[in-house]
Amino acid sequence: MGLFDNIFKKKEEEKKIIPVTWKENEGEKKEVQVEDKTHDIVEDKIKVEERNIEEIQEEMQEEVTIEEKKENFFQKLVKGLSKTKSNIIGNIDNVLKGFTKIDEELFEELEEQLIMADIGVAATLDIIADLRQKAKDGRLKEPSEIKSLLKEEIVRILIGSDKKEINEGTGKKVMLIIGVNGAGKTTSVGKLASKYRKEGKKVLLAAADTFRAAAIEQLAEWANRANIDIIKHKEGADPGAVVFDAIAAAKARKIDLLICDTAGRLHNKKNLMDELKKIYKIIEKEYPEAQKEMLLVLDATTGQNALQQAKLFGEIVDIDGLILTKLDGTAKGGIVVAINKELSIPVRYIGVGEGIEDLQEFDAEQFVEALFE
């Protein structure tokens, strides 16, 4: 800023009076004095430069804040996966300590531990088969090398090429959130709404789980906390009517993201299927230009039951992704791998705490890094 200071200091000196002469009529000359505007141009340029510097500083601060949030969430992830880590990595360490060479007995022990850690039968068999092949090819020679290879195998499964890719795009979007009651469905809706609002998107909530009055009240509380509008009807109202009104409001208010909380009962699959199909048809008809995303919320603490729920819902609707909650309270986090392998449904978000920012987008490499941290 030294250069700018000098320019400002001398700006009075830079004001010059320039004589200008021109001919008027025949033979007459008139002379007036015109003020030199050079200093004004310099001053304007300085203001532009200062504004650019401020914008750069703001952008740098935003980048620092984002990195800090990522770092904080990674630490929460490490802490939240401590039980899962103990269940998977701890038991694998115990197995490896008992072996000095690679043999079939070692592979059988590893297979048993991975299945017990909720990695799933299909994922476990895939991992062990690949480790066997590496040993046969000479790429795996010592038991101590297994952990790093195991890490690579889990990442490979979690970022498999057969997973559905969600194109975020730049247009309007509707999220349909489904899942059984108690999995954290309504809470996840509230956290997602808060997350995207903080990212600058205009968000609207639809309380389409009219089966439970508590769900409507809970979602209204989340909306109030995050200062987000909500469309709701009375308990027992037609969920389709709620979604219809929400779409009309989303269009009128130029909403970027409409998130719909839906009923979570599974005791009667036909009723649930009919209800979800009706809601989806309404969205297709009334909001064809919007991108649609169906997300299933699963409670990680239920382990293999979460996998069964995903299979049941998958029979009813086409699921685009999963929200896995309560990872911080369970040793069964290995279910992430099982679901990815057996159902080819990607985990989109994970929750590692009760805080509003404890639900974040799932990053396979970050997840595995935290697990092996």
Residues 146 and 202 in one domain: no
Is residue 166 domain-resident?
Answer: no
Task: Give the domain-ending residue among 50, 79, 108.
Answer: 79
**Per-residue pLDDT averaged across 281-288, rounded?**
95
Helix (H, G, I), strand (E, B) or coil at 89: helix
Is residue 168 domain-resident?
Answer: no
- In this predicted structure, what is the pLDDT of residue 161? 45
Residues 346 and 199 in one domain: yes
- Of residues 29 and 74, more confidently modeled: 74
Residues 75 and 134 in one domain: no
Rounded Cα gap, residues 76 and 351, in angstroms: 10
Domain range for residue 140? 82-158
CATH number at 148 reads 1.20.120.140
Residues 330 and 199 in one domain: yes
Residue 55 has pLDDT above 80, yes or no: no
Question: What is the torsional sign of CA 99, 105, 108, 109?
Answer: negative
Is residue 323 domain-resident?
Answer: yes
| 28-35 vs 173-178, strand pairing mode | unpaired
Residues 128 and 181 in one domain: no
Is residue 373 domain-resident?
Answer: no
Task: Give the domain-ending residue among 25, 50, 79.
Answer: 79
What amino acid occupies position 237? Answer: A
Question: What is the torsional sign of CA 12, 14, 17, 20?
Answer: negative
pLDDT in tens, 86-99: 999 999 999 999 99
The dihedrals phi and psi of 351, each to the nearest 5 degrees, come to -115, 130
Residue 289 has pLDDT above 90, yes or no: yes
Rounded Cα gap, residues 331 and 87, in angstroms: 6
**What does the longest C-alpha to C-alpha distance in the chain come to?**
115
Residues 38 and 23 in one domain: yes
Task: Give the domain-ending residue among 45, 64, 79.
Answer: 79
Contact in structure between 329 and 301 (CB atoms under 8 Å): yes
Tell me how many domains the chain contains.
3
- In this predicted structure, what is the pLDDT of residue 64? 44
Residues 354 and 292 in one domain: yes
CATH number at 244 reads 3.40.50.300
Residues 217 and 363 in one domain: yes
State the pLDDT confidence band at 112, using cuts at 50, 70 and 90: very high
Rounded Cα gap, residues 352 and 326, in angstroms: 6
Is residue 164 domain-resident?
Answer: no
- In this predicted structure, what is the pLDDT of residue 271? 82
The share of the chain scoring above pLDDT 90, in percent, equals 54
pLDDT in tens, 118-140: 999 999 999 999 999 999 999 99
Residues 148 and 135 in one domain: yes
Is residue 167 domain-resident?
Answer: no
Is residue 165 domain-resident?
Answer: no
- Please provide the average confidence, as pLDDT, over all residues in the chain: 83
Residues 258 and 348 in one domain: yes
Residues 211 and 188 in one domain: yes
Is residue 372 domain-resident?
Answer: no
**Per-residue pLDDT averaged across 194-214, rounded?**
93
- Of residues 42 and 219, more confidently modeled: 219
Residues 341 and 198 in one domain: yes
The dihedrals phi and psi of 100, each to the nearest 5 degrees, come to -115, -5
Residue 143 DSSP label: G
